[in-house]
Structure 1
């Protein structure tokens, strides 16, 4: 893991770069390192303040003329799945998620590579090597976990572990007030399962089982098709100038 001094965090500002969500806009980010014994507490504090984690970096948008990126967290205890979400849960009832330490495997990378090639061929992560993936998973000083989703076996109810091929993976951080979904990916050939939605529903269930109030989804950009799925998980809160406020959306929940 990358090592850095463990004194009070220093914050830095990136140079402008093209925005991946809004054409013609440029983004800047403020960031700091999450290292040392204080990293978990700092990660909690910064996530509650709208930051996201990538490896041992916590960052948030700091664009000069745009405030389109909005931090979103689901209110897990109040959440009720829509009819469509219930169908997705039923469709994936044969899957079970096993929690592991944040350690990369070749099987995970093969699935990650297939997912990127199918869904994000032109994205910023498209050229990630197996070493890049390993760094994404294991370069962390906070309590990060990998959840591997496989089909249930005859002993899964006892072991909590599935069998057969890896279907989906979520990299998540355990926080004092909930779970933060850092990154997730799945088998693109099984698109009928809606595995992205299923993993969010599973995280909501895990947060509720642990009596934790929130599931953090990162940033939502109104009008961005890439981000549209996040608004479907109601009720939720958005971080604004006055802090976290309940957001009511008129989307059809079917």
Structure 2
């Protein structure tokens, strides 16, 4: 009796899933979330959902309009910025969030400055600050959380842009580069040269390029597939910045970014903070 009832319940759920686009859309997001891969093809998702490719494509198109998934340059799909925004907003106690916060807290304690974790939104080629740990200094800059910001203005975005594929860098560099301040790079050639330096150094440093009077240092954070997914760094007032400390501050930032990368890739246990062998 129990087995028959269980089978009946599962069949009812399966029937609902096949009939209701919302249920199938949620299932599709769940498959992408639980997958070991960052990007997915339409046929792959169709097979896993047990629907036709045309049905899967319609579901993905609807989710893309909402920003829940985004299309990559080669036509595959990945989770979108809006999905990530919702995840970060509603999962304050999720281990990755907790450990990332601990990493930023440590970075703030070691540097004495506000620290941040920014994430990349592939759909709109923008970024947003997902997490900020404020310094104890009375004079500090408050970073805007969960607002979509351009990649070319500020260390947080430049550290991401420098490690994106060359065609995306070119697309951004040759697009409309609006100045956030008088110091923002808006010449394509200068921006591309700057990105090459950032790739070589492993971090970006900016002086008032997004916020007047603010210094920022950021390093890229990578996901499970090795693609850049965001950046980690610090922000401080220009009046408090000592150029002689650039190397040590950059070292702290790069170490923190690597640590968050380890959590995201599974190289480090997010619950214990211990590196996995």
**TM-score w.r.t. structure 2 length?**
0.28
Indicate the structure with greater strand content: 1
Indicate the structure with greater helix content: 2
Q: Which has the larger radius of gyration?
A: 2
